[in-house]
Each structure stands twice: as structure tokens, then as C-alpha cells.
Amino acid sequence: MEDKITKDHNAKGVVLLSGGMDSCAIAAEAIAYGYELAALTFDYGQLHRKEVEKASLIAREMVIPHRIAELKFVKQLFGNKSTLLSGKVEAYKPLAEGEVATSYVPMRNTIFLSIAAGLAETIEADNIFIGANFVDYGGYPDCRKGYLEQVRQALMLGSERWTTGGHVLKIHHHENRTKEQIVIAGIANHAPFEHTWSCYKGLERPCLHCDSCHNRTKGFIYAGVPDPALTEDEWARAVQLYEGSR
């Protein structure tokens, strides 16, 4: 994550809290740095409400105000393009170079960041926190560092606060961190990973097979700690599945 807070910086921020481990980790880190956060979660027609429910739980655990915004048009307009919206979730498979993940939702982060910037202007905040990271670069074009910088500049140009008020918008993300490094950073900052949900499927418990479950398991394995959101039996099974996929 970028700069630590100083007396000269605006200490307010909007965190895009998805309910997953990446946004949970960056929220915990921002709080540790001294930021005053407002959490924003989107209900955009994803397959289940697990992440939305977990985001609310995480926000309560971190004692930060939380807003849930409904974006039903995302599924209405883009539903056939993404497995996260259509329901055709696949088991983990490595992506070829240049291949975009089937779970990619068209313009999702562009939409999310635009709304987050609007909220930031409204509450006079100059910081947005998003869980984008190195693992997502390949399969998700809207998680790349270059994209995030270009969006930041566009949002500034289209605003009142950041064109006339002498303020600068910052978008904080995990940059080149791997899942392992995100886990380690989250633990160091007391992120409530036990309340997070990463599985693409809306089952009672994580499926342990999808891309998101695979990447999450890898992060905890390489960090040398079990996933606190899983039971002992589930963790043993997750490790077995990960080892079998290598």
C-alpha cells in the first residue's frame, strides 16, 4: 500500500469492501496507518449474497460505517459475459498468457471506482482503497497498476474537489503483493480473515475448487498458516486439492 498518513494528508478514505480477503486486508492496513474509513459494498447481481453479508460483518468488526449500494444493471447488461453473473463457475485452471478470466465482469472496477470517488467527494475524502493485487493482474485487466493510475487521473479531471479544491485523489491497492504477502500483511494488522468469503459459489461452505478458493488456499499455505475461515477438515481438503493441482 502507498504512503503512510502524515499530518499534511487527508486522513479520510473510502474502502471498497467486497467481503473477500484482499479488501479486508487493505482495510485493516489503512486503519493501522490511521485512516478514517467509510466502507462501500456493491450488490451487483453476483451469484450469491455471501460476500455482501461478510462485508457487513467485517465492517462491524472493524467498527467502520458501511454502505451497500445496489447496482442491478450490471447483471442486466453484462450477465452473459461473466461466470460470476451467469452461474457457470468453473474449477481452477491456469490461465494462458494474455487470457482473461471467465469471471471478469466488464468494467466492474471502473464502475466501482467512479462511485467510490463520488462518495469520497461527498464526504471530503481523498483516498480510495481497493483490494487489487498482483495475482489479479493477468486475469483481470481492471486490476492492473497502470489501469488504476489512469482511472485515478480521469476521476480527478472529472471532479470538483480534485480540480478546483487543491486536493489530490489517491487510489491505494496491494500493487505487486502476492496472496501470501496479503495474508501476512493482513495478519500483522489484525484483519478478521475468519469473517471473509472468497468462493465464487454461493454454497453453505466454500467449494475449495474454484479459482478464488485455489488462490486463497495458496496464500495461506505459503504464509504458513491455516485459513481461519475453514474448519480443520476443510483446510486439510483445501491443501490436498491445491497440492493436486500443481
140 within 8 A of 100, measured Cβ to Cβ: yes
Q: Which residues contact 6 (CB under 8 A, 6 or more apart)?
A: none
Q: Which residues contact 43 (CB under 8 A, 6 or more apart)?
A: 49, 52, 68, 69, 70, 71, 72
Instruction: List residues bridging with 91 in a β-sheet.
Output: 210
The phi, psi pair for 205, rounded to 5°, reads -130, 160
Instruction: List residues bridging with 128 in a β-sheet.
Output: 14, 171
The phi, psi pair for 222, rounded to 5°, reads -70, -25
Cα separation, 182 vs 222, in Å, equals 11
For residue range 187-245, what is the model confidence (pLDDT) as tens digits? 999 999 999 999 998 889 999 999 999 999 999 999 999 999 999 999 999 999 999 87
Cα separation, 11 vs 14, in Å, equals 10
43 within 8 A of 49, measured Cβ to Cβ: yes
pLDDT at 3 over 70: no
Query: What is the model's pLDDT at position 223?
Result: 97
Helices (H) and strands (E) in the chain, counts: 11, 5
Cα separation, 184 vs 87, in Å, equals 32
Helix H or strand E segment including 58: helix 50-62
133 within 8 A of 177, measured Cβ to Cβ: yes
Ranges of beta strands (E only) in 84-202 are 127-129, 170-172
The type of residue at 196 is T
Over residues 131-151, the mean pLDDT reads: 85
What confidence tier does 138 reach under pLDDT thresholds 50, 70, 90? Answer: low
**Mean pLDDT of the residues in the chain:** 91
State the helix-helix crossing angle for 232-245 and 211-223, rounded to 10 degrees.
Answer: 100
**Of the candidate ranges 46-55, 85-94, 207-216, the one whose mean pLDDT is the lowest:** 85-94
26 within 8 A of 173, measured Cβ to Cβ: yes
Fold of domain 12-86+99-192? Rossmann fold (3.40.50)
Over residues 48-70, the mean pLDDT reads: 96
Could you state, in order of their start, the residue ranges of all structural domains in the chain?
A: 12-86+99-192
R_g (Cα) of the chain, nearest Å: 17
pLDDT at 110 over 50: yes
Q: How many residues does the chain have?
A: 246
Answer yes or no: pTM beyond 0.95: no
